[in-house]
Amino acid sequence: MYFPINFIFLFTLSPFWVPSKALEIDSTDPIPSPWPHQFHATTIMNYTGGLRKVDLWYDWPNKRYLHINQYQLGKKLYGVEWQNGTSFYFTLDSTQECTVRHFPVGILRPNWLEGANYMGQRYKDGFLCNVWEKTDFVQYYEDIATQLPVYWQFYDGLIEHIITFEVGKVLEDSKWQAPAYCFKEIEKGKKILQDRKVQDHSLLTSFHERRFKSDK
């Protein structure tokens, strides 16, 4: 007797209720902290290339970004990204590999999370976090107690757990220099990174491509 009424009630109300709720803008929603203009973070990343320990140096005043990827029981790959769109991926061991790539966008701005949708609070890695989503791009978890990032997940499956996060830490200039073999012409014997897996799944390559898509 009551079933049909309930059914009709739910069926007719829910399609109207859900979209209006989704469009509602709640001005009390927390907003993600902008990235500090300079920081050093260490992370554990899981991506299709396998697990890696990543050292991440973000330096907005100098418009540069460095990540050092130690693959599990594998190679150590450096990536330096400059605001002019040039990125260098290289090893510093005897393999002397280097790949140079150009991107139509520079490094991530400190406010790159601006405009992300608030998804509520969730526990991640044991921390109570605020969670935001940039549609079709990233889910970003920030510790409520400290406002430090805990975790982010890109839509192509890249997952990164933040282990340490040092605000204001700056890497000395000499460490940003790509090695000389990056500047040789291919004809003169520059070694292209051999490991396609590593090359294709470098964090910044994917970061860039994702960001480029999200900006469009």
Ligand X SMILES: *[C@@H]1O[C@H](CO)[C@@H](O)[C@H](O)[C@H]1NC(C)=O
Q: How far is the CB of 145 from ligand X (least distance, A)?
A: 24
What are the distances in angstroms from CA 39 to CA 61, 73, 169, 170?
11, 27, 5, 7
CA 138/CA 154 separation, integer angstroms: 4
Q: How far is the CB of 36 from ligand X (least distance, A)?
A: 22
Measured from the CB atom, is 51 or 170 closer to ligand X?
51
Measured from the CB atom, is 127 or 176 closer to ligand X?
176
Q: How far is the CB of 178 from ligand X (least distance, A)?
A: 7
Contact residues toward ligand X (CB under 6 A) are: 46, 51, 82, 84, 86
Q: How far is the CB of 179 from ligand X (least distance, A)?
A: 12
Measured from the CB atom, is 33 or 86 closer to ligand X?
86
Question: Could you write out the DSSP letters of every residue in 7-70?
Answer: HHHHHHHHHHHHHHHHH---TTS--PPPPPSEEEEEEEEEETTEEEEEEEEEETTTTEEEEEEE
Measured from the CB atom, is 32 or 210 closer to ligand X?
210
